[in-house]
């Protein structure tokens, strides 16, 4: 198995075999991440691009310049932009202040989250190319996020995660499951904006089959739940992306406990694989 090599001078820089995980360093690498997002969200899925996005074949918005872009680079394809096969967008409190807001405030009242002292991190625009969707790649991305969290001493992560479709009634089982089993405590609970609020409490607890509900959840949401994640109050329909969103909140002590109990940056280079 491949051995992980790390550059501890950077917030994130991990190399496992041909795969490298690090932050984008050039405009070309950010554009490669945007092109990958376009392929996944607009071509594989059913998001609706603006005419400019369609012409450039890139997914972009006014938040991109203020974010860090976590990249998975497959060196078999190239060392930089040519090798980008996965990405995650990261936005901290300070850079959100420069932009004027976090991305999620267009869907959720983040008052409870913003009141938390210390650094917070918004996660979004996560995707992996079709040929690289594996448990190993996702674990590599989560290891990178854990390194980023440790580097910036982030106390809480949050962001919108999506279920496919814009008819909440068809998503009653997974939404009700999330509401009854994973609702955030009041001090961490974002709430969907009144004009966009969709009640997630559609089914009574006794009418929910947890196993069937979990099977309907996207892998990303299941991953957040495995890290001890919570959901906010209310879902939001996003017509552009043809999704119904929930707000995920994860306390980072749960992330670091899972990813550093048997693994630390200091000893990672001596351990095989990416588990």
Q: Domain extents for the chain?
A: 4-270
C-alpha separations of 250 from 31, 41, 86, 167, 222 in Å = 28, 24, 21, 26, 12
> pLDDT truncated to tens, each residue of the chain (275 aa)?
344 555 566 899 999 999 999 999 999 999 999 999 999 999 999 899 999 999 999 999 999 999 999 999 999 999 999 999 999 999 999 999 999 999 999 999 999 999 999 999 999 999 999 999 988 898 899 899 999 999 999 999 999 999 999 999 999 999 999 999 999 999 999 999 999 999 999 999 999 999 999 999 999 999 899 889 999 999 999 999 999 999 999 999 866 666 554 344 444 333 333 33
The CATH number that domain 4-270 falls under is 3.40.630.30
Does residue 155 contact residue 119 with C-beta atoms inside 8 Å? Answer: yes
pTM listed for this prediction: 0.89
Residue 2 is classified by DSSP as P
Does residue 39 contact residue 129 with C-beta atoms inside 8 Å? Answer: yes
Phi, psi (deg, nearest 5) at residue 67: -105, 155
pLDDT at 61: 96
CB neighbour burial string for 252-270, b if at least 16 within 10 angstroms, e if fewer: beebbeebeeebebeebee
């Amino acid at each position: 198995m491949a051995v992980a090599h790390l550059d501890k001078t950077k917030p994130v820089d991990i190399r496992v075999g041909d795969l490298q995980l690090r932050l984008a360093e050039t405009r070309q690498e950010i554009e490669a991440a945007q092109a990958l997002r376009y392929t996944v969200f607009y071509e594989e899925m059913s998001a609706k691009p603006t005419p400019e996005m369609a012409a450039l074949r890139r997914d972009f918005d006014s938040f991109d310049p203020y974010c860090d872009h976590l990249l998975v680079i497959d060196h078999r394809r190239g060392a930089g932009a040519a090798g980008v096969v996965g990405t995650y967008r990261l936005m901290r409190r300070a850079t959100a202040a420069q932009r004027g807001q976090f991305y999620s405030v267009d869907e959720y009242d983040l008052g409870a989250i913003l009141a938390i002292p210390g650094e917070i991190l918004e996660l979004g625009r996560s995707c992996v190319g079709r040929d690289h969707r594996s448990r190993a790649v996702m674990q590599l991305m989560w290891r990178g996020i854990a390194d980023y969290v440790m580097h910036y001493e982030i106390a809480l992560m949050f962001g919108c995660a999506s279920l496919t479709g814009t008819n909440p009634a068809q998503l009653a089982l997974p939404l009700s499951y999330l509401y009854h089993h994973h609702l955030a405590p009041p001090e961490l609970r974002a709430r969907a904006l009144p004009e966009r609020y969709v009640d997630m409490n559609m089914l009574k607890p006794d009418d929910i089959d947890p196993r069937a509900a979990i099977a309907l959840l996207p892998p990303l949401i299941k991953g957040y739940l495995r890290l001890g994640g919570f959901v906010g109050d209310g879902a939001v329909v996003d017509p552009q992306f043809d999704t119904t969103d929930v707000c995920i909140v994860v306390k980072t002590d749960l992330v670091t406990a899972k990813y550093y109990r048997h693994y630390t940056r200091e000893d990672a280079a001596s351990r095989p694989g990416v588990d």
